[in-house]
Chains A and B, each alone.
Chain A
Amino acid sequence: MASCYGQFACNIVQAKLGSSNTTPMKPMRVISLALRSPNETTKHETFTSNNIVITKKSLTKTLLEAEERESAGKGKFGKYGGRYVPETLITCLNKLEAELNLVLHDPEFQAELSTALRDYVGRETPLYFAQRLTNHYKNDYGQGPEIYLKREDLNHGGAHKINNAIAQVMLARRMGRKSVVAATGAGQHGVATAAACAKLSLECTIFMGSRDMERQPSNVVLMNLLGAQVKCIDGSFKDATSEAIRSWVGNLETSYYLAGTAVGPHPCPTMVREFQAIIGKETRKQAMEKWGGKPDVLVACVGTGSNALGLFHEFLRDEDVRLIGVEAAGASIDDGRHSATLARGDVGVYHGAMSYLLQDEEGQILGAHSIGVGLEYPGVSPELSFLKDIGRAEFYTVTDQEALDAYRRLCRLEGIFPALEASHALAFLEKLCPTLPHGTKVVVNCSGRGDKDAATVFEKTTAGLANHKTKST
């Protein structure tokens, strides 16, 4: 696998730059390397720091070509993505792709979707200037970046998930399907899907891992109240996903598999990204209104990548906009129990697509771990894998403890409870802000609200306090 990647990277360099390798590194790359801790080396890093030299021009070209390839219906982002599925699913996926292309250009569908996003979901979500958080990051001279939060936490259902769920349920209804099946990790996608199905009068079955049901019980209750059937699957999100797909395959005519995030066989990653891209579109408009310019840095947490892609996609070709994804390091990145797919994974095929994933030497999928339940997935979006390889986006990790600290920090400073997933993005500000020039405009995707996590934080806090007491007595 490693050599396959190596060859791929070499091909890009040779195709774009001929034999030249003396072009200086972009300043962005230097900073990003400096931020990595000495322990966090992967084979990909050492490779890129020595050999990959991509100029501004070739990056844009690469992105443009990739876009063309994607829209030509191949569903590939560089070599990532694709459709590694049994024959039985190909026809179905073709139908879905055709329908997707239709609705993306259908003014009636778009108008109905806009109304739903505005009146049901509550969009536009604000781009909120976090004054006190900004002050927190000011240095002794009163200088520092300006932090803005894209308030996806204010959506109906409490997260960005609904942007995609409502659009896809509308699509399912249009295709004449009577029932929807989906898998959920933390439960946000399940709740969003159940809500959309209730509103549009479709039957709804949600598969959820037993581990996750234990950790996010409030979301299970919500799904039931919304009229959905919740099926408990032994394990976690990745197992629930496998079951959901299996169930769908058994009912291809009448049921619709609602992908909650940007993984899976083509057209799922593209579809989810398209429906989440509203986040970035609004951000561009709001940034223009607020400060007459663009954001300088975008930061988002990465489980599978839907909220990150939703924010980033609009700005892919704006190379003066830095894209930063933050994954979960779990208790510690080195103990093997984490969800840092892009930082520590290898390329492989999982759930129908080629992407980075957490696997052992025998290619067996490893379980992912994080306090942010929604970040626990051993794979990641193929599009993000591609953006990482070409150096368009940077990826870092944050531990459970750092995320918890960030949760508490935002509560205290801004009166906003961020989801523990989003807390990972917020935690990264601690490392990022000291490196940013004064006045840099940073937009963090506040992808969900943290009411669902209050009990977890409560437990960890009381446990922490108890430990402290025991230690000091």
Chain B
Amino acid sequence: MHALTELESAFRSLSGDREFEKELDGILKDYVGRESPLYFAERLTEHYKRPNGEGPHIYLKREDLNHTGAHKINNAVAQALLAKRLGKKRIIAETGAGQHGVATATVCARFGLECVIYMGAQDMERQSLNVFRMRLLGAEVRAVHSGTATLKDATSEAIRDWVTNVESTHYILGSVAGPHPYPMMVREFHAVIGKETRKQALEKWGGKPDVLVACVGGGSNAMGLFHEFVDDDDVRLIGVEAAGFGLDSGKHAATLTKGEVGVLHGAMSYLLQDEDGQIVEPHSISAGLDYPGVGPEHSFLKDLGRAEYYSITDEEALEAFKRLSQLEGIIPALETSHALAYLEKLCPTLPNGTKVVLNCSGRGDKDVQTAIKYLKVE
């Protein structure tokens, strides 16, 4: 508890600190490669035109172009800087498929911090190349064997480590989940996505986006895009979760659609649980959406009716993966593909000229092996 209070007050004091902001801005620009472009997807827009030539305009917020290939680094870089300010020399994190682990190990290398990544033993086997990457970056990767030896178990181990070593160690949580102040902090560090989008929309068409679409696993990329516009009632917010094999199959990760309220990893939120309150093992073809919980702020926005949440199956996501690759020459992450897949259902309902901004939260190089298995592309 004390550690969380300390973290919160440090965060609040740094939020107003111009030196900190300037340093962070410099790193986001020169190291991460921001601003990420707001790209008009001409061929995708064509694809959604109705026979009378009408349809929405699709823009992609190119978080896939960031250093390390996803939005994750925005938060990792800011938290590493925060940790340094706090005088911490050691960083820990949990990771599922390895993306957040690689992002964390990356910033630790950049800032010269000691780094320990907790990863489920099962995940380590499936992602040996990511494990190697983390080690090349100088991180120690610790196998977690408890439970199902996957992400939620790695998260529990990481929390345990942090509680033990809180004096020297900062825990970089990868998403807008976990105990306060993490959901707020991670959202704040990703909010640059939405801030840039507002500015770029004004430059490009002199207005605001009409609809924002993003995939939701833990919820960080979605909150990063939405947060700036939460008070703009004329901007529609749409989150897309993973329906895995289908909502009725029991093998999905559609927390907001099928979950119930409970407490997981230190926060109250919607989660996938059985009648005994045991956490259900989620499933999605995309590792990053494969999480049984969701950020508490999303739960709140859903209950308020401010944001809408839908879900997309593995198959629909794979189709969307292929579609963007062939129409725009951009290979999206399988997570992002869920948001892209939802356009198939959304666009026919939108008036002509509606401005849709979709968060292209990551690139799909990491998913090609998975994709070709299913798409039978040789």
Identify the A interface with B (CB < 8 A): 118-120, 122, 125-129, 132, 151, 154-156, 158, 194-199, 201, 218, 221-222, 224-227, 408, 411-417, 451, 454-455, 457-458, 461
Contact = CB atoms under 8 A, between A and B. Distances in A.
Interface stretch (B50-58, B100-108, B177-185): B100-108
Contacts of A226: 325-326, 329, 331
Contacts of A222: 331, 365, 368
Contact of B137 (A155, A195, A415): A415
B109 A411 contact: yes
A221 B62 contact: no
A262 B84 CA distance: 45
Interface of B: 29-31, 33, 36-40, 42-43, 62, 65-67, 69, 105-110, 112, 129, 132-133, 136-138, 322, 325-331, 365, 368-369, 371-372, 375, 377-378
B30 to A, nearest CB: 4
A413 B113 CA distance: 10
> Top 10 closest A-B pairs, CB basis?
A195-B329, A198-B329, A415-B109, A415-B106, A122-B65, A154-B33, A415-B110, A119-B37, A227-B326, A126-B30
Contact of A151 (B33, B106, B110, B133): B33
A231 B105 CA distance: 38
Say what secondary structure dominates the interface of chain B. helix
25 contacts: A119-B62, A122-B36, A122-B37, A126-B30, A128-B30, A129-B30, A154-B33, A194-B329, A196-B329, A198-B325, A199-B328, A199-B329, A201-B43, A221-B377, A222-B365, A225-B331, A225-B372, A412-B137, A414-B109, A415-B105, A415-B106, A415-B107, A454-B129, A454-B132, A458-B132
A360 to B, nearest CB: 38
Contacts of A195: 329-330
A155 B322 CA distance: 21
A428 B82 CA distance: 35
A221 B372 contact: yes
A132 B112 contact: yes
Contact of A411 (B107, B129, B136, B375): B136
Nearest to A194: B329
Contacts of A411: 109, 136-138
A197 B133 contact: no
A198 B37 contact: no
A127 B155 CA distance: 36
B113 to A, nearest CB: 11
Nearest to A120: B39
A197 B329 CA distance: 7
Contacts of A417: 133, 136
B136 A132 contact: no
B110 A218 contact: no
Contact of A225 (B30, B38, B377): B377
B331 to A, nearest CB: 6
Contacts of B69: 451
A412 B329 contact: no
A197 B328 CA distance: 9
A68 to B, nearest CB: 38
Contacts of A224: 372, 377-378
Given A154-B67, A417-B133, 17 more contacts: A122-B37, A122-B65, A151-B33, A154-B65, A155-B65, A156-B330, A158-B365, A198-B325, A198-B329, A225-B322, A225-B331, A411-B109, A411-B137, A411-B138, A414-B110, A415-B108, A454-B132
B299 to A, nearest CB: 34
A276 to B, nearest CB: 19
A441 B317 CA distance: 47
Contacts of A154: 33, 65-67
